Amino acid sequence: MSTASALERRPAKLTGREFYKSIGSPKYIVAPMVERSEFAWRMLTRSFMEKDQPQRLLAYSPMFHARLYKETEGHRAQCMQPIRHDDQSDTDVPYLDGNPAIDRPLFVQFCANDPNDFLEAARLAAPYCDAVDLNLGCPQGIARKGHYGAFLQEDWDLIYKLINKLHTELPVPVTAKFRIQETKEKTLEYAKMILSAGASIITVHGRRREQKGHNTGVADWSYIRYLRDNLPPETVIFANGNILGQGDIERCLEATGADGVMSAEGNLSDPTIFSKIPEVGQEGREYWRGRDGRGGYRMDAVFRRYMNIIHKYVLRNPVPERKPLFLPSDPVDNTNEQTETTQNGTQQNGDINGKRKAEDDGHEKAAEPPSKKQKRNKDTRVTDPNLTAMQGHLFQLLRSLVKEHTHIRDTLAKTRAGDIARFEQILSMVEDAVKQGILEYEKNPEAFDKKPQNAEELHGSKATIAEYSRPWWVCQPYIRPLPEEALAKGAMQVSKKDQRKAAEAAKATAHAVSEKIETAPSAIST
């Protein structure tokens, strides 16, 4: 399937709310994340949606660099794999990214600072997506250095040209994602400019550019509500920020009036965040619910689904046969599984704390001198975006579990991209750890009830942790300390810029007070 033929078959371009309706008016959106919202992760998130409503979930690609994307086919292959060559028909057929049968709706996001580069890259991606998005929100240092993302927000003329170029010349709609400005009024004017350039949908992250790392803080939904109340009703708005759990989605929609809610970090910690919670008694083997009624999807279940997707779609291999996930109601099995991990990290096959014995790869490979082995490993460097992202995904998904089981953390840390056998080993270790955790809970559930009795009196991140915390084998969000808490602990320092601002404000206040005293009438004693 050539780019030209795919473009020729496209219907007339829709924009704005008509376009939004044409893709199913999705309420749930997987955010664009650098090296994190790739095909396999999108498929994992989609797999937890109700089968009869696949269009309720919109997903974005990872952020790609427009200039690099348009320059070489090799770089594009490390970003997306939309087609593959079918030898039988001798034609290109849909493969992974943007495959109409499994990966739609999909927006592809680029960072850019040159309208021509942006258009060239967008034209290459357009046949395989529903829209192209401009990143105006990345706050990282690399974006400052490269002059893109949130560091374009002072250059309104350039932003207008970037969006308008695609609006007038690209066969699919253009959208934009940006952060709030210093005031609601300036944010509104910024949004109006972006919409006037031709953006069909705007995604508003309720944090300012400087809110990142330890200074991430809390997103301000009131800015998004202000835009909703002051922009035309046909404007499609997605809200982003503060989505830690499923309950936050409806709260955000109600508070902001947005059409949809986007999740980034919340989705990485829990890819089931958009899914429907099973009814009591309908949990099955994937969902765990405690005696207090609180629960979530089990990490071993989510990890297993992830591995199955890698096998089926990325490697195009049969999905391995697997025994059912453990339930306490299962018949007692006293047989030793070959790959079962004991609590101290030692396995039946000789693995100790995640370290495997040397595997017999054949006499020829074993006989190779070290230099030849090193060369072979170097030559077979994995570049598939779905495989290179696996380790990072699992560290975020399993964050609470590997804190309890450090041998799993150590094994994961040493696992190379593409080493599927090692990832399968880690899955077995996780399954056994979850089994042990559930058995311990059955014996002593009070030991896992982390909700403090004085939860109503807690403040800051402690209150948030009390609300969202679950036993370590359940998917749960990562709760960052608030900036003031990070300052108190010494994990963050006030920047020189903020110190200067504070000093100037204090000086101005002192000067104003001094002038007021000097001009005030003298007190007359009587």
Give the pLDDT confidence of 131-149 residue by residue, as tens digits: 999 999 999 999 999 999 9
The reported pLDDT for the residue numbered 509 is 52
pLDDT of 34 over the 90 cut:
yes
Rounded Cα gap, residues 34 and 139, in angstroms: 12
The reported pLDDT for the residue numbered 87 is 86
**What's the chain's average pLDDT?**
87
Q: Tell me the domains of the chain and their CATH numbers.
A: 3-276 (3.20.20.70)
| Catalytic residue, candidates 79, 111, 129, 138 | 138
Average pLDDT (98-104) is: 97
The reported pLDDT for the residue numbered 52 is 73
pLDDT of 510 over the 60 cut:
no
- The answer, yes or no, to whether the previous bond of 173 is cis (omega within 30 of 0) is no
Q: What is the CA radius of gyration of the chain?
A: 26
Tokens of 194: 């972006």
pLDDT of 521 over the 80 cut:
no
- 182-223 pLDDT, tens digit per residue, is 999 999 999 999 999 999 999 999 999 999 887 888 999 999
Average pLDDT (63-81) is: 97
Average pLDDT (30-40) is: 97
Catalytic residue status for 129:
no
The reported pLDDT for the residue numbered 503 is 60
- 399-411 pLDDT, tens digit per residue, is 999 999 999 999 9
Cα angle: 59, vertex 60, 63; to 5 degrees: 160
Note the pTM of the prediction, 2 decimals: 0.84
Tokens of 94: 């849909």
Average pLDDT (473-502) is: 76
- Taking the mean position of all CA atoms in its chain, how far away is CA 30? 7
The reported pLDDT for the residue numbered 518 is 53
pLDDT of 458 over the 80 cut:
no
- 251-272 pLDDT, tens digit per residue, is 999 999 999 999 999 999 999 9
Positive/negative CA dihedral, 381, 386, 388, 390: negative
